[in-house]
Amino acid sequence: MGYNEVYDRSIADPEGFWLDEADKIDWVQKPSKALFDDNAPIYEWFSDGLVNTCWNAVDRHVEAGHGAQAAIIHDSPVTGTKHRISYAQLRSRVARLAGALRAKGVDKGDRVIIYMPMVPEALEAMLACARIGAVHSVVFGGFAAHELAVRIDDCTPKAIIAASGGIEPGRVVHYKPLLDGAIEQAAHKPDFCVIFQREEEVAKLIEGRDYDWHAFQYGVEPAECVPVEGNHPAYILYTSGTTGAPKGVVRPTGGHLVALNWTMKNIYNVDPGEVFWAASDVGWVVGHSYICYGPLIHGNTTIVFEGKPVGTPDAGTFWRVISEHKVKSFFTAPTALRAIKRDDPEARELQNYDISCLRALYLAGERADPDTINWAADKMGVPVYDHWWQTETGWTIAGNPAGVEALSVKVGSPTVAMPGYDVQILDEGGHEVPAGTLGAIAVKLPLPPGTLPTLWNAEDRYRKSYLTTFPGYYETGDAGMKDEDGYLWIMARTDDVINVAGHRLSTGAMEEVLASHPDVAECAVIGVSDTLKGQAPVGFVCLTKGVNRPHAEVTAECVKLVRDQIGPVAAFKLAVVVDRLPKTRSGKILRAIMVKIADSQDYKMPATIDDPAILDEVKEALQGIGLAK
Ligand code: COA
Ligand code: AMP
């Protein structure tokens, strides 16, 4: 069957299509049907089945005789170590950790926060939660204490599993003080913490609250897999929205298993036993779906890479990992390739490695610019497949189904809609627009299995954020178009979310932090074009009347404040002081025009602007920091 038949069947007969795919998963009790639509527009899949994620990701491969196969390869240039964990070892490690959590009172449905760097223990912690039906929420290591505190208060975890530290090039990230600070700030207190001590950073434990990872597991009874309902939350993953409060995306267990399993062959074109590598971080959705769950559910070997595309130690690291571990399909963010291309434009490092094992490169997380795609295709000699998805969906909305049928690549387009996604381009009134016309990208409900059914403890927010603008559709927050061949083109966000080095960030959250500075009366944050990271945030602050301090002092404090409150991942390094912000007569800040000025693009003066002269002030301030040429 080619792509068209597969896709058409998924839309015409979703029950049949997804029940067939569900057969490839081990159920304790098979679901009676696929779609549960009694509570539409809130949809669920496989709700009455009974299943366990850890069984499907680990135990079933051991039972099938693949216990000796590597499940995880940890390759860590920052610590100079590499090691392999087989499926059999993974099962006993996860069962023991799960047993220890259970012995301390963690049960089905309890939440557990995981705050760890790129070590296999992060995956083991995720799988241990899944084994006992606990709901994990992984928090990215580049977030500061405040962001962690917000997540603790939102999902009220019984336990937090953290590492003592992470290693960034040139510095150790001290996780423990961040964790302690977060617990102090949060109103909710976890019952206990489990700390994985790293050789590079041994943290001081708080007696009675913190347990050492190894000591904690000593002598416990390993836990068996606990069956959970198909609609039981597998995990919560927070992502940026328009405001400072992150959205807790809920991932349902049954759909997650079925959909990810489908993608491994049909999109990433790997067979069980082959090596798959996603160079991302467990803190992001890519890490959840394609470092941890997808490859393991499908019986692949996954690589946990603790390093950067450049500087650990050089721009050849990715090629080394691919050749050394015989990677078949490789997934990264365009920004990582831009970093390599900047350091090694001729890809001379590639001459030192044989990457003929590689079949294809997959890019996602941000818009893949044609220069990067063409460079990668040329130097690496493999097809480069852009694919578009979001934390909310957990897997590809639009991609190139290479395992079904490799469609011709149109550089700049992530190709076509994947099964179950009825993607439409809508105008403001919610009507589909003709091919080639820009509009809001929406997906006709229901979304396919594995996608979010709701937000954690915030169904109203879920409805308002995604289901209200276009009744009967899921609003993606992206704008773009479809061409005559049905290929999608993703052009921009329709909200205040920006994408910095493949990391999704909220300018609203940064504005909330800037507004908390005592000398700041008003502020705006925009995302400007950045040749390496895609976008970079720039803050504009207006000072409180009477404040007469050097501007550089205030902006330096603003930069520090965002780093301390949100974390280094915000990459907030540029702020300027302006007298006023450009606004419409009704008081709306003209952020889109500020972006155009910063990016030295032409813009149309809006008829509703309050005072056009302010735009000159904005331009001058931006020129002071090397923008708006
Ligand atoms: N823990 C703690 N801090 C972290 C971190 C982590 N897990 N990840 C990043 N940071 C810090 C970095 O050290 C950096 O701090 P600095 O301001 O002190 O230099 C800051 O957060 C910004 O990080 P980043 O945006 O990643 O930039 P970088 O300069 O470290 O590296 C790239 C630039 C392009 C090489 C890098 O961004 C990259 O490879 N990104 C991959 C993108 C990716 O995997 N995205 C996931 C979606 S698929
Ligand atoms: P995240 O939830 O962090 O994965 O971010 C999702 C957002 O990143 C999407 O809504 C897009 O705005 C952007 N994005 C992800 N992948 C792509 C892609 N392939 N092309 C364009 N934008 C992308």
- How far apart CA 360 and CA 377 sit, in angstroms, is 9
Q: Whose CA is nearest to atom 10 of ligand 2?
A: 390
pLDDT of 607 > 90? The answer is no
**Ligand nearest to the Cα of 534, by number:** 1
Q: Which one is predicted more confidently, 394 or 170?
A: 394
Is 286's C-beta closer than 6 angstroms to any atom of ligand 1? yes
Ligand closest in space to the Cα of 331: 1
Residue 499 CA: which ligand 2 atom is closest? 8
Q: Specify the pLDDT at position 340.
A: 98
| Position in ligand 1 atom list of the atom nearest CA 280 | 44
* pLDDT over 80 (residue 244): no
Mean pLDDT of the 173-188 span: 97
Ligand 2 atom nearest 286 alpha carbon:
4
> Please, what's the largest Cα pairwise distance for the chain?
74
pLDDT of 242? 78
**Per-residue pLDDT reduced to its tens digit, 363-393:** 999 999 999 999 999 999 999 999 999 999 9
* Pocket test residue of 308, 310, 574 for ligand 1, highest count of atoms within 8 A of CB: 308
As a whole-number percent, the residues of the chain with pLDDT over 70 amount to: 100
Q: From the CA of 78, how far away is ligand 1's center (Å)?
A: 14
The pLDDT of 595-605, averaged and rounded, is 94
363 in contact with ligand 1, CB cutoff 6 A: no
Residue 208 confidence (pLDDT) above 90: yes
Nearest CA to ligand 2 atom 15: 365
Q: What's the topology of domain 501-623?
A: GMP Synthetase; Chain A, domain 3 (3.30.300)
- Residue-level pLDDT at 622: 96
Which pLDDT does position 406 carry in this prediction?
A: 97
CA gap 415, 437 in Å, rounded: 16
CA of 388 to the centre of ligand 2 (A): 6
Q: Is the pLDDT of residue 251 over 90?
A: yes
Q: Which of 468, 469, 489 minimizes the C-alpha distance to 479?
A: 489
Predicted confidence at residue 321, as pLDDT, reads 98
Please, what is the average pLDDT of the chain?
97
In ligand 2, the atom with minimum distance to the C-alpha of 504 is 3
Atom of ligand 1 nearest to the CA of 501: 37
Written in H, E and C, the secondary structure of 535-587 is EEEEEEEEECCCCCCCHHHHHHHHHHHHHHHCCHHHCCCEEEECCCCCEECCC
What digits encode the pLDDT tens for the residues 138-154?
A: 999 999 999 999 999 99
Write down the domain spans for the chain.
501-623
pLDDT in tens, 281-337: 999 999 999 999 999 999 999 999 999 999 999 999 999 999 999 999 999 999 999
Contact in structure between 321 and 327 (CB atoms under 8 Å) = yes
Q: What's at 211, amino acid-wise? A: Y
* Long-range contacts from 615-624, C-beta under 8 angstroms, 24+ separation: 615/582, 617/578, 617/579, 617/580, 618/540, 618/578, 618/581, 618/582, 618/594, 621/540, 621/576, 621/577, 621/578, 622/538, 622/576, 622/597, 622/598, 624/576
- Residue 241 or 322, more confident: 322
pLDDT of res. 606: 85
441 C-alpha to center of ligand 2: Å? 12
Q: CA distances (Å), 499 to each of 152, 223, 356, 392, 430, in order?
A: 24, 40, 32, 15, 26
Q: Which two tokens mark 487?
A: 């290929």
Could you tell me what percent of the chain has a pLDDT over 90? 96
Closest-CA residue, ligand 1 atom 15, reads 568
pLDDT, one tens digit per residue, over 476-526 is: 999 999 999 999 999 999 998 999 999 999 999 999 999 999 999 999 999
Q: Which ligand is nearest to the CA of 475?
A: 2
For residue 336, give the ligand 1 atom closest to its CA: 39
What residues are in contact with ligand 2 under a 6 Å CB criterion?
239, 285, 364-368, 386-388, 390-391, 414, 476-478, 490, 493, 499, 504
Q: Quote the pLDDT of residue 104.
A: 98
Verify whether ligand 1 is closer than 6 Å to residue 534 (CB atom).
no
Label residue 219 left, alpha or beta by phi (over 0 means left) and psi (-120 to 50 means alpha). Answer: left
36-55 confidence digits (pLDDT tens) = 999 999 999 999 999 999 99
Tell me which ligand sits closest to the C-alpha of residue 312.
Answer: 1
- Residue 170, classified by CB atoms within 10 Å of its CB into exposed (0-12), middle (13-18) or buried (19+), is exposed
CA distance 133 to 372: 41
Residue from 478, 498, 533 whose mutation best tests the ligand 2 pocket (most atoms within 8 A of CB): 478
What number is the average pLDDT over the span 122-133?
A: 98
What per-residue confidence (pLDDT) applies to 608?
86
